[in-house]
Amino acid sequence: MGILWFILIFISLTSHGDTHGPDSCNHEGGLCRIGNCVSGEYLASYCFEPIILCCKNMSPPATKS
């Protein structure tokens, strides 16, 4: 019975709201952070809502010419 609850909680967490996961965050140029984004970053989405955030730099990365 305990395993059943664990599976239900896991499914609930993985399908929650606006969650995209760490692969999506990294692919879009962000980093997953716990709690808050650091200075110079903004909240772009969630890796695992609401605790793990997907943070991106406010300024675009410099391109080489």
What pTM, to 2 d.p., does this model score?
0.57
State yes or no: pLDDT of 47 exceeds 70: yes
Q: How confident is the model at residue 59 (pLDDT cuts 50, 70, 90)?
A: confident
CATH number for the domain including 38?
3.10.360.10
- Residues 6+ away with beta carbon under 8 Å from 44: 25, 28, 30, 54, 55, 56
- pLDDT for res 58: 86
Residues of the domain holding 34: 18-57
- The structural domain count of the chain equals 1
Q: What are the angstrom distances between the C-alpha of 62 and each of 6, 34, 53, 59, 65?
A: 45, 26, 24, 9, 9
CA distance 24 to 58: 18
What single letter denotes the amino acid at residue 28?
Answer: E
